[in-house]
Chain A
Amino acid sequence: MNILWLQASGCGGCTMSLLCAEAPGLFDLLAGAGLEILWHPALSLESGAEVTDLLEALATGARPLDILCVEGAVARGPAGTGRFQMLSGTGASLMDWVRRLAPRARHVVAVGSCAAFGGVTSAGGNPSDAAGLQMEGTHPGGILPPAFRAQGGLPVVNVAGCPVHPGWVVETLLALAEGALGPEGLDSVARPRFYADHLVHHGCPKNEFYEYKASAMELSQIGCMMEHLGCIGTQAAGDCNIRPWNGEGSCTRAGYPCIGCTEPEFEEPRHPFTRTPKVGGIPVGLPSDMPKAWFMALASLSKAATPERVARNAVSDRVRMPPAPRGRRR
């Protein structure tokens, strides 16, 4: 299968993250699955006419296009012209190119939360009137209509994340190459379920703090960041703490909160990202599928039962009080 990769209104960080794929690395992964990159703005030799000739051939159907990957939101402004992002040398906007190419492709993949939902490019007043490919925030329909289906029958596959984990993209492409990704493999916002069925909370090293609601008060303290520091790992899709990033990393492992970057409209939490909004001292936005009364009851019980070790460490920048092994307790 061949892949055409376009960078629309985004930062290019999903490609940069993708290149962190390891063991095997990106090029071996793709080659091993018979995936060939026709053109990628960071990874190809061709410039100028060589590229526009290719794009034209794909847009007219003269050359078949298997997978169209779009990274970045698509600018519709100013006034619906798309001229906030022209594809240089072509006199046409990225919006026009994506609309011409997407219906020709067997599969269309939105790489990153910008391409999927608009993401950070659409933050604030959305100065460039950017949207995702087939969604605008939580609303169906982006620059492609809700009913859009690629030639292979799937809607736009939303590999959301800001940036994406390299594994999410690679496995999506491998699954498409194998014909193993069907509508049942996508969640309600068309994210591949293999990573979106997990929560960032799963495998978070702060789980013991979470159990006791032993909370960090300031960034750099190692306690749970849900109560005060805006962490929404208990609600956000992603296997970030099951398979780590860049060796052994994740946001919560590095001491800062999950901001739910795989979710539509994560860029507008309506409160500062690293502060938990509260009503009457109680955090708004509890774990998505837990009855609130139960949560409150368990939280007050577990808070009361918090061991001194956990309470002290929660507000320290490292383990100050180690666990005492059984039989050696003082």
Chain B
Amino acid sequence: MARSQTGQGGARRVLGPFNRVEGDLEVRLTVEDGHVRRAEVNAPLFRGFEPMLEGRAPEDALTLVPRICGICSVSQSMAAARAIAAAAGQGPTPQGALVAALIHAVENAADHLFHFNLFFMADFARPAYADRAWARAVEARFLPQRGEAVRAAVAARAQLMHVLGMLAGRWPHTLAVQPGGVTRAPGLRERLRILAELTAFRRHLESALFGAPPEAFVALETVPDLLAWEGGDAGLFLRIAADLDLAHLGPGGGRYLSFGGYALADRTIFAPGLWEGGVPAPVDPGAITEDLSHAWMRGATAHPFAGMTLPDPEMAAPGYSWCKAPRLAGRPVEVGALARQVIDGHPLARDLARDGGVLARVAGRLLELARLIGVMEDLARAITPEAAFMTPVTPPEDGTGAGLVEAARGSLGHWLRIERGHIAGYQIIAPTTWNFSPRDACGVPGPLEAALEGIALADADGTDTGTPLAVQHVVRSFDPCMVCTVH
């Protein structure tokens, strides 16, 4: 329902329910002259995982945190395992880290595939686009539940998940990822089967998504080259993007963060860093704070090691979301596949970041997916069956540790404080907490809020359905995970 009311400074409009965002989302718009003047993004679900963890044994986090999110479950496991390992001062064996990275990469690849095929593309099958040259093709490929691409993606993902059945027991919600490595030692048979499943997944990417070897997509270096790509469903999306000028819809702030993707014994496969105004810089996790000024939360701005989660039952103004506002050195950052690829130095990603809009976010994800199949194959080939995949790690009686990882949707951090053998503090900042953050004390909007400003309310056919399609494209371009956002 788009509840509208006119108040001071423009008409107000409330958008929701917002589907295909892994949870629910409410967007409140102030509109003027048919355009968005101001957006307030509300994550309408509070569960309270952080207080739930307090008082428990540290390793219980490994059971509970994956259940924050059914789509980034392994990412949550990885962050918790790293946080405990950091507190203990002892991490996984090299092969344990490698198999954990493979488990994590499979989840992230599956998430990218689902976002494109199930969550994002469907909106182009709306009646407002019925007269476009690509409308029939989109309908055939992406209508929910019926589209050929949707069904093929569901089947390909189900098969890819066999890798996790083998290594992690099941997906989602595994206990296989531990601070010291992984609980199952894969042998020769497992390595061969995993490679066979990955070959099947590669075939899907080639035939459906890219219409060519993924490496050809990875070889693209500029936005004009990208827009000339014709193969597969990626080509269909790029024709739409050119027609609707998605490059300039919902631009980002040009400030990107990545904690670094897939930590092995000696490196991360995708580099960590900060990217601001075209300049790379190292990340200082000590400069992260959460501002509570516009959240329904009590307490002061704090670094997550000192942070608390005390919901305000009055839901008092100026709060308008359960989501806290994370800031790096006092400013918002955008996170996600685009950010990761920009920071890792991929030339196409860096060219896309000049505009940083819907095209950039979605193409950044496709680019990362194209890179991930090779990453997964390399990891699987490097499995050494005779190696040690786990070493016991005992959490300390007292200590702190941070687990900083990259989920499909971007940077995920867990900050753990242990006192007298129990969890005394546990704070989580999820990717969508960064991207869909509310305003901070200075009134600076979060990345989505900023990206929505100035968007026209009328759809391509001139109608206003109450839930503008341009707003939906921008929201979904971030690949939000709303259940993670507040947790």
Contacts and interface: CB of A to CB of B under 8 A. Distances in A.
Interface of A: 7, 9-17, 19-22, 25-27, 37, 39, 41-49, 51-53, 75, 77-79, 83-91, 120-121, 123-125, 127-128, 130, 162-163, 218-220, 244-257, 259, 261, 267, 272-275, 317-318
B60 A163 contact: no
Interface in B159-217: 159, 161-162, 164-176, 178, 180-185, 187
A178 B239 CA distance: 45
Given A49-B465, A247-B161, A256-B175, 10 more contacts: A17-B170, A41-B24, A42-B119, A45-B123, A87-B16, A91-B3, A219-B390, A254-B167, A259-B175, A273-B175
The listed residue with most A CB atoms (<10 A of its CB), out of B47, B158, B389, B392, is B47
Interface string B270-313: 00000000000000000000000000000000000000000101
Interface in B244-277: none
B26 A49 contact: no
Contacts, number: 282
A121 B69 CA distance: 11
Contacts of A128: 46-48
Contacts of A256: 169, 174-176, 183
Given A42-B118, A254-B183, A317-B388, A12 B483 contact: yes
A272 B59 contact: yes
B232 interface: no
B453 to A, nearest CB: 20
B2 interface: yes
Nearest to A219: B183
A124 B170 contact: no
B384 interface: no
B71 interface: yes
Contact of A11 (B60, B69, B176): B69
Interface of B: 1-3, 14-20, 22-26, 42, 44-48, 51-57, 59-60, 62-64, 67-71, 73, 118-119, 122-123, 125-126, 143-146, 151, 154-155, 157-159, 161-162, 164-176, 178, 180-185, 187, 311, 313, 315, 322, 388-390, 392, 465-467, 472, 483
Contact of A48 (B67, B123, B146, B467): B467
A37 B47 CA distance: 27
Given A87-B24, A88-B17, A13 B51 contact: no
A89 B14 contact: yes
A58 to B, nearest CB: 14
Across chains A and B, which 8 residue pairs bring their CB atoms closest together, nearest first? A13-B70, A88-B16, A127-B48, A89-B16, A254-B169, A246-B165, A249-B165, A247-B162
Contact of B173 (A45, A89, A163): A163
18 contacts: A13-B173, A16-B172, A20-B171, A48-B467, A49-B1, A89-B15, A90-B17, A162-B67, A163-B173, A220-B181, A220-B182, A245-B171, A249-B170, A251-B169, A257-B175, A259-B63, A273-B60, A317-B390
A27 to B, nearest CB: 5
Given A16-B70, A51-B17, A87-B16, A245 B170 contact: yes
B154 A250 contact: no
Contact of B71 (A9, A13, A248): A13
Contact of B184 (A20, A254, A261): A254
Contacts of B24: 7, 41, 85, 87-88
Given A19-B157, A244-B165, A246-B165, A89 B69 contact: no
A11 B144 CA distance: 21
Contacts of A257: 175
A127 B388 contact: no
Contacts of A16: 70-71, 73, 171-172
Contacts of B52: 123-125, 127
Which residue among B48, B118, B119, B144 has the maximum number of chain A CB atoms within 10 Å of its CB?
B48
Nearest to A73: B47
A267 to B, nearest CB: 8
B47 A52 contact: no
Nearest to B484: A11
Contacts of A51: 17, 19
B189 to A, nearest CB: 11
Contacts of B170: 17, 245-246, 249-251, 254
Contact of B55 (A124, A251, A273, A274): A124
Contacts of A91: 3
Given A48-B17, A162-B173, A120 B64 contact: yes
A7 B70 CA distance: 12
B73 A47 contact: no
A52 B1 CA distance: 6
Nearest to B322: A84
Contact of A246 (B51, B59, B164, B465): B164
A87 B18 CA distance: 9
Contact of A47 (B18, B151, B181, B311): B18
Max count, chain B CB within 10 A of own CB: residue among A22, A37, A46, A255: A255
A75 B330 CA distance: 33
A84 B145 CA distance: 31
Contacts of B168: 249, 254
Given A48-B466, A121-B47, A37 B23 contact: no
Q: Which among B45, B392, B467 has the highest number of chain A CB atoms within 10 Å?
A: B45
Contacts of B389: 220, 317
A10 B483 contact: yes
B200 to A, nearest CB: 12
B311 A84 contact: yes
Contacts of B44: 85-88
Nearest to A79: B313
* Residue of B154, B161, B183, B315 with most partner-chain A CB within 10 A: B183
Nearest to B43: A88
B172 A17 contact: yes
A163 to B, nearest CB: 6
Contacts of A83: 315
B16 A77 contact: no
Given A16-B172, A88-B16, A248-B165, A220 B390 contact: yes
Nearest to A319: B187
Contacts of B47: 9, 75, 84, 121, 127-128, 130
A27 B151 contact: yes
Given A25-B154, A124-B55, A128-B46, A218 B392 contact: yes
Contacts of A273: 59-60, 62-63, 175
A256 B180 CA distance: 14
B19 A52 contact: no
B477 to A, nearest CB: 15
Nearest to A36: B145
Contacts of B183: 219-220, 254-256
A164 B81 CA distance: 24
Given A43-B145, A127-B52, A12 B1 contact: no
